[in-house]
Chains A and B, each alone.
Chain A
Amino acid sequence: MILFALLMVFLFVPIIQEWTDFIPVRPLKGVIMETPKPELTFDNYKSNIYQTQIEKYASEHFGLREPVIRIYNQYVWSAYNKTYCHFIVPGKHGYLYYALAVKEHFGTELLHHYKSNEAAMKDVDTELRMMNKVRHVLKDYGIEFLAFIAPDKPEVYPEYLPRCDADTTTVHIDEYFSHRMTETGFPFINMTDWFVQMRDTASFPLFPRTDSHWRYASIYGFDSLFRFINTLDGEAKFPTLHIGPPIVYESDKLEGDEETLNLIFRIHGDKTQYKSNITVEPDNTHRKPKVLFVGDSFIYSMNDFMPIREIMEDREIWFYNNTAYEGFDNKTESVKDIDRLSHILNADYVVFYSAGHQWWEATYGFAKDALLQLCVSDSLFEASVNEQADKFRHLEGYDNLTEKQLRDQMEWMLRNNPELIPGLEGEDMPTIRNTERIEQAKFTNRIKADKDWLTTIQMYASKQAISFDEALHEEANRLLKNESLIRDEYVFDTAVFIQMKKQEIIKSWRPNPKIMQMIQQKAKERKLPIDVVLEQDAQWVINKQIEEGSLFQ
């Protein structure tokens, strides 16, 4: 009887946990596409959509899911050296690698992108040609464009890789890029060979055993990058860094990829971590640079190990040319939603950086887009679309498209092949410029550099219920046309200012999973919608700032 009663309780534990969270659990790490709670409608039910989705939803929300998943992950890891985590390849002795880097090492990654070496090399040549064109144009505005190839772990520690069949006939993308960049004179620095040479003499691991990204050793990579940049023509220079010897300490914190395996126990007992004291030698002869980094996750460790605020005036990261992290506080926006031209022109250096295996995707569309932004005015682009549309309109496959469909296709084609636009073709450096937009972008940057002016524009945007970028655009246009400025016309309104600050706070919270989890918890407790709790908490922060007198500073 007791056992049966216990059995019933046992079967109900997940449901009780789901409702009450009475057992504290270690949350799972990693990113999954969460299934939205399905809506029960007759159509959904009849077509089995509801049943399928609720099963998936249940698998993501049942009580005690976290420890239960860790149990099985631990079992497959310990027994079979296997993980369900996407893109992580377990090597020997607990070494973890990134799957695409492993494929690149064994020469099998090319076939995921191209049918032959020739096709791959042709695309590299095209991309590099556009990179050189972008560099040429940016030089006119005192900006240097360069590339940085971060090392791949499989190249540095190949002995721990799992057994794989290698294809020795394929081209290695970072090697070919390096070769062609050298030939065309595009400035770049490739860290791979140096790291391979250093691995046996370094007193610290160049990659952590359980992370596919570089960590501590990246200090030396970034230092080399800064030194290399200082040899280029730019006005702004990085100050000299003095890197102290490695300091060994212990930390319970799991390294990147190991965390994502979601195991119960650590892969190995070694908790050794490294850091260095870095001192910055002041340089009064040059101003510190503003840098725009476009690339992959190998930049993360710069935040963790380098005194970035002391060595750069500003830095912005365009992660995979997709998500923009502005400034040192990483204000997050989508790259496609920002005024890209003004951001590019605001930098002293534009650095495309990526680990070796990621160069198949170089430059994640940045070079094409930058070329268009810098050189092609709206009217020229429009004219080019028309020209191409006229060429294609009567061709088979296009003759049945509507005018809008045809123009959409032409636009897409030109954005992907900007060299089809007159003035950008061939090997010659472009002579055309998107002059009006460039001037406007420069004005935008001038406004942004003035804190009071910027605040006025933000308030104006808030009052007019338009986006900040639209307001900024309007002000830049007024500057361009010598019209009266918003800055001079706008009267300070406290209520608008507070509302604007509140929205800023909420916007900065939304991408933060920890804060949002807290907000969700509060919303659950107070039985209020999340948006209302966000408003309340932001108001609380504003009140606090008013009390402290920091809000209007």
Chain B
Amino acid sequence: MVFSSNVFLLYFMPAFFLVYFLMPRKIRNYVLLLASLIFYAWGAPEFIIQLIASTVANFFLVKWMCKTEKAGLKKLLCGLSIIIPIGLLLFYKYGNFTMENLNAILGLTGHAPLTWKRIMLPIGISFFSFQSVTYTLDTYRGVNKPMEKLTDFVLYITMFPQLIAGPIIRYCDVADQIRSRESTMDDRLQGFYRFVIGLCKKILIADVIGAQVDAILGPANFSLLDADQISNIFTKVANLDSTTAWIVSLAYTFQIYFDFAGYSDMAIGLGRIMGFKFPENFDNPYTSRSITEFWRRWHKTLGAFIMNYLYIPLGGNRKGKGRMYFNLWVCFLLSGLWHGASWNFVVWGALHGFFICADKLFLGNVMKKIGKVPSVILTFLTVNLIWVFFRVEDFGLAWLLIKRMFAFDFALLPFSANAQLYVTMIVADFFSFITLTKFGQKVEEKVYFNDFTNGQHIAVWIVAAFAFVFCVAALNASSFSPFIYFRF
């Protein structure tokens, strides 16, 4: 189940909150746990048992790890507890990728390919496996005590607001809130407002733009297309004028931001309704002045995870400059691979790693010297170009699109031909960069983080309710495409 679906918005969410708030406080965690399991079982019926089994196993392994005095056994249990979720992640997410590459190598060396049954990727596996790891390591490092109740731990792993697409919540950030939390009326209302903001980002911006991107670039993965369809996509891209090619790449840049940030907003909002304070995941990433800054603002919880559980354990910057650059590269390569099991994601990660290293070497200083606006523009354009490799799995097509962007055969496109896309992109552009101004920062502070007066609550409530209705309308109107009614 995804948040931007009718089943969630019109049935699951109202029913859940009604039951949740009608129940006494002591029982609410159980209600949330049950709802989370239903939520996950709805979307990944074949994986729910493995999810519960691995979570229960982790819980007892970590408990045992904390009880034992023997350092060797402690390490062994810690390792086992990490291997289970990471093993599941490797198997489910990278099984197909590994086999495809192995067969490619076998093919090159003249050997017969191996046969295997394709593995379906369970939703959310990338997120809950990382959360499981944070629990084990934070407990191992003594940052937090282990959970006492199994149900609390299963709840931490499976909590539905953040189960599918994050934010990646470190165990230490949320442990106390699971045990005890307050949900004021202000939290509940502001949580709803935040949820609606996320819903608008997803449905009114990302989905509208995404439909246009898909119309030109086709689906991200070509595996379901036949040769003719793939050839048509190539022809379409080869015939793009530079203006359209730039529009396509910029559209995707906005689509991915508003899609992902929207989902994070919805997760944070849902959590807040229940009294959880989930960490922020995005901080206006397109206003960054360098790629390094971009990664401090984009998918912050992933950045924090990589920093704490990969970069620092690898040695960070403590083992000399050469090692630091190597560590950064490895981190970004793996970050790319975490986003998807395909070489284009590796290239995407590698390019980011390259620019991070370049920042450290010289680029960071150059960006500082050229001033705020030019550095923001240059960083944005760089990110935009690199996103092409994220969106397009086929390198040939990605390269073709980039070539069209720099073919310099710009055309004047009539606004009316695709007005909805252009208006939506202007709106996306506005909200992506508004915090470059002081006024924008104030607006953001007010909307996202400040408490409202009663009068403000009423006004915002009405706006949020209308926006919610409008999002449901957008979600359904495009799928209601009637044929002309014949009048007999």
A residues lining the B interface (CB < 8 Å): 1, 3-4, 6-8, 10-12, 14-15, 28-32, 45-46, 48, 51, 54-56, 58-60, 62, 65, 68-69, 71-73, 75-76, 79-82, 84-88, 98, 163, 212, 256-257, 259-260, 262, 297, 300, 317, 319, 323, 325, 330, 332
Contact = CB atoms under 8 A, between A and B. Distances in A.
Contact of B483 (A10, A30, A71): A30
A85 B481 CA distance: 5
Interface in B154-199: 185, 188-189, 192
Nearest to B42: A51
A55 B18 contact: no
Contacts of A30: 482-485
Counting chain A CB atoms within 10 Å of each CB, which of B185, B188, B470, B487 scores highest?
B487
A29 B482 CA distance: 8
Counting chain B CB atoms within 10 Å of each CB, which of A58, A259, A260 scores highest?
A58
A481 B21 CA distance: 82
A168 B437 CA distance: 52
B477 A69 contact: yes
A1 B185 contact: yes
A166 B17 CA distance: 56
B488 A300 contact: yes
Interface of B: 1, 5-7, 10-11, 13-14, 17-18, 21, 42-43, 45-46, 185, 188-189, 192, 414, 416-417, 419-420, 423, 457-458, 461, 465, 468-470, 472-488
Contacts of A56: 479
A324 to B, nearest CB: 11
Contacts of B457: 3
A14 B481 contact: no
A60 B465 CA distance: 21
Contact of A32 (B414, B468, B470, B481): B481
Nearest to A10: B465
Nearest to A12: B14
A51 B43 CA distance: 8
A85 B480 CA distance: 8
Contacts of B487: 256, 297, 300
Contact of A71 (B10, B470, B486): B470
24 contacts: A4-B189, A7-B192, A8-B14, A15-B10, A30-B484, A31-B483, A31-B486, A54-B7, A55-B5, A59-B6, A59-B479, A62-B6, A68-B469, A69-B480, A71-B473, A72-B474, A79-B423, A81-B419, A86-B482, A86-B483, A163-B414, A212-B484, A259-B485, A332-B488
A316 to B, nearest CB: 12
Q: Does more than half of chain B's interface fall in helix, strand or loop, or is it mixed?
A: helix
A3 B481 CA distance: 36
Given A11-B14, A86-B481, A65 B420 contact: no
Contacts of A32: 480-483
A45 B469 CA distance: 29
Contacts of B476: 59, 62, 65, 68-69, 72
A84 B480 contact: yes
A6 B457 CA distance: 12
Contacts of A88: 484
Counting chain A CB atoms within 10 Å of each CB, which of B5, B11, B480, B486 scores highest?
B480
A55 B7 contact: yes
A76 B483 contact: no
B14 A262 contact: no
A256 to B, nearest CB: 7
Given A55-B7, A73-B477, A11 B483 contact: no
A297 B485 CA distance: 10
B137 to A, nearest CB: 34
B7 A46 contact: no
A84 B483 contact: no
A32 B485 CA distance: 9
A269 to B, nearest CB: 23
B45 A256 contact: no
A55 B484 contact: no
Nearest to B487: A300
Closest 10 CB pairs between A and B? A30-B482, A72-B477, A72-B473, A11-B14, A58-B6, A80-B420, A80-B419, A68-B473, A31-B483, A71-B473
Given A297-B486, A325-B488, A76 B477 contact: yes
Given A59-B479, A317-B488, 4 more contacts: A15-B14, A58-B11, A60-B480, A260-B484
Nearest to A296: B486
Nearest to A87: B484
A3 B488 contact: no
Contacts of A54: 7
A332 B189 CA distance: 56
B240 to A, nearest CB: 15
Contacts of A46: 45-46
Nearest to B8: A55
Counting chain B CB atoms within 10 Å of each CB, which of A79, A85, A330 scores highest?
A85
Counting chain A CB atoms within 10 Å of each CB, which of B419, B457, B478, B484 scores highest?
B484
Contacts of B469: 68, 71
